[in-house]
Structures are given as structure tokens and as C-alpha cells.
Amino acid sequence: MFIHEYQAKSILLREDVPVPDGKLIETVNEADSVLNLLHFKNYVIKAQIHGGGRGKAGGIKIANSREEALESIISISGKRLITPQTGPSGRIVKKMLIEEKVNIIKEIYIAIAIDRKRFSPMVMVSPEGGIDIEKGKLFFEEEITSAVGLYPFQERRLAYSLGLEEKMNEFSGLLEKLYRIFIKYDSTLLEVNPLAIDKSGKFIALDAKISFDDNALFRQKEISGLYDPEELDPLEAEAYKESLNYVKMDGDIGCLVNGAGLAMATIDLIESYGGRVTNFLDVGGGASSEKIEKAIKILMKDRRMKVLLINIFGGILRCDRFAEGLVNGLRDKRIGIPVIIRFKGTMIEEGKRLIRDSGLNLIWEDSMEDSVRMALSYVYPDK
């Protein structure tokens, strides 16, 4: 789960990590009264959306007077920001953070993430923070193998790599606070970019991004409450509410699968045959027939699909249970597009019987290759 910058900064501040003074506003009408409350006169206006690259898209503006701040707020509010992380549809700005402009001496990058190869957290730093961090910057890494965090020698090594020998103790203390936050809130990523050093020599987190493990949200009730459904596509938000995994893409062929591995294999096969996927919805390995029904109803709301390909492996999710949910989900719908189905596994004959007796006009295929080729024949008849 992702949260907004202002929410991430509230967590940092609570754990004694310095952030700029600021206030959140949700409408232009609030701007006048909020600016009157702020003690500073140099401002940074920041759009609050889920997605990096806001500055290049016009979502971050610097203002050196109250009048400039008002103009910036008006220009950002309601704007659709399109960045590499939002996709082509972008995000509408509905919240803005007004912060004090910091006199920066140095900017660095720091992040804690899960290293999937080592199965442990890692700290990654760069002496160059700010925009385009992924392009040709120098990075230094340290693996965290102790339950208490980095060892002192690792903290010193990172400090030296950043040229912070004279601020060793402050930097070590900051690393320890960030790691405590990372573990305490079941984070998968904690990124401060940039981490600034101001004119007084103080560390300040100018921007912050935190993501959380969805599977741990049951014990992070406060974090769960920070979820913002307006930052998701409406169908993604509806699927999220039902604990389903729906991802919007930009092709022509809809995909309904169970399990991430089967989803990847199905999408790869479609792409290898020259097709493009509209979306995929993963119902998981042990979904009930009721959950399948909800998944079908959500998927059929995506009017961009020209054909729907269903590829199911009946293991824990038996084929008859899937068929029951599929029939209930499509029974009262005007389908309007070809629906191709291929499933294998437990109770397959009973599943086929349920669908056959329903009277639904579905197209059966026995292999993945044949089902994909059939889907492509409806969308790209000349291929």
C-alpha cells in the first residue's frame, strides 16, 4: 500500500525525523486562511498524488511571496499530472502541501528497501539526491543482517561514502530512526529523496515515500486508515476493497487468472503472439465462488476490452467453484464481447457441466496457446 508524501512526513516527524514546516490544503478556498497562519514567507507548493516525477510535470512550484504562492496553488489545484509513475491517464491533484522553502547546502538520497535476492532489508544511499535519481547516479549499499539494524561500522562506511565524516553521529542517529520506522510499520520501502542538509547543518527530509506490506495491514490499523481510494482507478479501488488484484493496462485483451505465476505466463504468451492486454484480474489461489462472482462483475465494467480470456488452474480453487462464480457473475450481464475460457485441474468436468448447463455462450479451448490464438483472432483478424 502507498501513502501520500504528507502522510509519510507525519510518520517521520512522529519518530523525530525533521521535515519542513507546512500545512495541507484540499481546496483553493482554504489557501488564503492557511497562508495567514504560516510563519514563513518563502514557500514550496507540492501536489499530493501517488507518483514520482511531480516536479517535471508541473506539480511542484517555488513561491517567494504570498501572492506567488496563491498563484501556484491555483495553477496546481485540479490539474491532471502525468508522470512516468502515473501512467498515461495521470492523476488529478486534489490535495496540496504548502511547505517552508529550505536553504539547502547539500542534497543526498537515502532509502531502505527489501532486497529480494538476499531476503533481507538493505540501505541504499547516493551523494546526489533530487530528480532523475535512477539515471547514472553513484549508489552505495549495506545489507542489514542484524535484528537491531546496521552495525556501527556499516553506518560509518555509508557516512564516509557520502562525505559526512564530520556529521557521523547525526547521520548514524538518522539511519537508526529510519530503520526503526521501516520495521515498526511493516514497510517495503522507505525513501527520503532528497535528504537535505540546511545552512545550520541540520538534516531535513524534503520529500518522503513509504510503502507498506499489504499482508501486514491487519496489524497496522492506523496505516490502513491512510489508504486513499481516490488515487486508484475506480475499478482498481473496487477490486482492492474486495481483496482482489486488478491492474489496468492499455491493450485490447482482458485477462482473468488465478495466481501471479499464471498471470505472468498468460500475459507473456499474449505479448509474444503480438497481442496487448487491457487488464488482468488475479482472483488468487483459494477464492470462493462469491469472490469469483465479484471479480467477474468488476472486470466486465471495463468497457475497453474487446475480448476476455479466462485462464484458470484448478488446484485449491476447484474448477467447479470457479464455474459457479463465473455463471453467477455473467448470468444477468449483457456480455457483448467474446469470452474465451480455458481451465484445467480439480473437478474440471463438473465445472464444464455447470457452464454448459448455464446456457452462456463461451468459447472453450484446451490449451493456453489455442486460447491465446483464439483471443487474438477476434482482436487482430489479420494476424
Query: Which residues participate in catalysis according to the annotation?
Result: 109, 191
DSSP code of residue 102:
P
State how beta strands 203-205 and 187-198 pair. antiparallel
From CA 59, how far away is CA 76, in angstroms rounded?
6
289 contacts 312 by C-beta, under 8 angstroms: no
291 contacts 281 by C-beta, under 8 angstroms: no
Q: Which residue has the cell 482472483?
A: 283
State how beta strands 339-345 and 307-314 pair. parallel
297 contacts 242 by C-beta, under 8 angstroms: no
201 contacts 231 by C-beta, under 8 angstroms: no
The amino acid at residue 2 is F
- Phi first, then psi: what are they for 129, rounded to 5°? -100, -175
114 contacts 183 by C-beta, under 8 angstroms: no
The amino acid at residue 8 is A
From CA 166, how far away is CA 187, in angstroms rounded?
30
